A and B are shown apart, each in its own frame.
Chain A
Amino acid sequence: MHIDWSALGQVAVVSIGIAVGVVAIFALGVRALSQREIDIESGSSGTLPLTGALLCFAACAIVVLYSIYLIVPQLHQH
């Protein structure tokens, strides 16, 4: 019986890293979006938090696209 501990370790590190990273970035985006509302209510433009939010969501979108690439075999097999 062969147990590939290093592959198991890789799965653990990769999945915990990606999941925590994506959720944290998404959470920052949500926070920035809420800050924009507060800014607009107090009279300022809210451009800076909006930019930050868009950057965060764009980063998450890239991870989603990469996930679809991994899920659909036609995309990564030739």
Chain B
Amino acid sequence: MTHISLLVIVVIITALAFDFTNGFHDTANAMATSIATGALRPKVAVLICGVLNLAGAFLSTKVAQTISSGIVNDKLATPAIIFAGLIGAIVWNLGTWLLGLPSSSSHALFGGLIGAVWVGAGVNGVHFDQVISKILLPAVASPLIAGIAALIATYLAYQINRRTREGPVTSGFRHGQTISASLVSLAHGTNDAQKTMGVITLTLISAGALASGATPPYWVIAAAGLAIALGTYSGGWRIIRTMGNRLTDIAAPQGFAAEASSTAVILSSANLGFALSTTHVVAGSVLGSGLGRRLAQVRWSVAGQMALAWLLTLPAAGAVGAIAAAIAIQGTVGVVIIGIAAVAVGVTVYAVSRREPVTAGNVNDVGPIGAQREALSPAS
């Protein structure tokens, strides 16, 4: 291990930083609906989610042997290019977190790598046909499928219990939610920590510290698992608020229906070999559960902002990755400049977020749908 260069160490630290942002971006996917319905207290929810993500990281053995699942040519990805791609992904994740927008961390990583490889190694390093079949198609199909499932499931849950007393319905579905949310967390942990493990392992291989085709060393698994678990535990309350409260008003039966639908889509697609974003799936489920309950409303403006963020994820993270790559491939000075710039972005985003903090304490403080509109219209 003595001959690992400074650059490789920087890439590993950056990959773990990405893993952390991945965690706090995606806590919402598993836990937002349970927090919104009161099935789990906010602090308890993120603790369960963090522990299950850590467990998931250790459980999964099907370790990613590619950085990008074939979207870019891994052979062209030097440590400097991987570093630039990670920076693109981290910057996008921080920005969308500040705005409270759920967006896919996988898409951010793919986007960053595409941009970095394009500039650093040439356009031939990017497999655009793979971009369509592995990224764009699942991004459109998965929320649609999850939404339809959640819509029908929610409608049936309310039909079946239309004459049942409200108390037992709420408490029954809340209990169900603790289990369905835990399943989403565990599935997330087995999938997402792999991305970082793959990046670190391939960086070590390209630096000659590991043999080609080696599986991740134990410390890589532990570090990646801990980074995503800590990120998850730190909450990402802004995104939880959007997913659980701002998109639609969620009651316990809807939360359960949404989580069951998300789990079903994630597991069935993983089984059939589709890589998809948990963020897209869960957002689709939440929207579906909003539509499936009679009289429930969906805030389409929030859904629209989210869809726009999804469209922008790939090109925006790609643009940052491209700029970072252009500078980072110049040598050590370039890498240092990009590193300092990224830290500056992180500090700035954190400082801005403190102006209007969202915490475990106020994550559910969102007025009912319609309240904002009434507040805006002049009293007549």
Residues of A within 8 A of B (CB): 1-3, 7-8, 10-12, 14-16, 18-20, 22-24, 26-31, 33-35, 37, 60, 64, 67-68, 70-74, 77
Contact = CB atoms under 8 A, between A and B. Distances in A.
Contact of B153 (A10, A20, A71, A77): A20
Nearest to B163: A31
Nearest to B166: A34
Contact of A3 (B137, B165, B271): B137
B123 interface: no
A1 B129 contact: yes
Contact of A30 (B164, B265, B273): B164
Which of B59, B183, B260 has most A Cβ within 10 Å? Answer: B260
B59 A72 contact: yes
Interface of B: 56, 59-62, 129, 132-133, 137, 141, 145-146, 148-150, 152-154, 156-157, 160-161, 164-165, 168-169, 172-173, 176, 179, 183, 186-187, 190, 253, 256-257, 260-261, 263-265, 267-274
Contacts of B164: 30-31, 34-35
8 contacts: A8-B137, A11-B274, A20-B149, A20-B156, A26-B172, A34-B164, A68-B183, A73-B61
Contacts of A16: 145, 148-149, 152, 261, 264
B268 A18 contact: yes
Contacts of B148: 12, 16
B161 A15 contact: no
A7 B133 contact: no
B183 A67 contact: yes
B84 to A, nearest CB: 27
Nearest to B288: A19
A68 B261 CA distance: 15
Given A11-B265, A11-B274, A34-B161, 9 more contacts: A19-B264, A20-B153, A22-B260, A23-B256, A27-B161, A30-B164, A31-B160, A31-B161, A71-B267
B267 A70 contact: yes
A10 B272 contact: yes
Nearest to B154: A23
B26 to A, nearest CB: 16
Contacts of B56: 71
B161 A30 contact: yes
B157 A14 contact: no
**5 A-B pairs with least C-beta separation:** A30-B172, A23-B153, A34-B168, A19-B149, A15-B264
Contacts of B160: 24, 27-28, 31
Contacts of B165: 34, 37
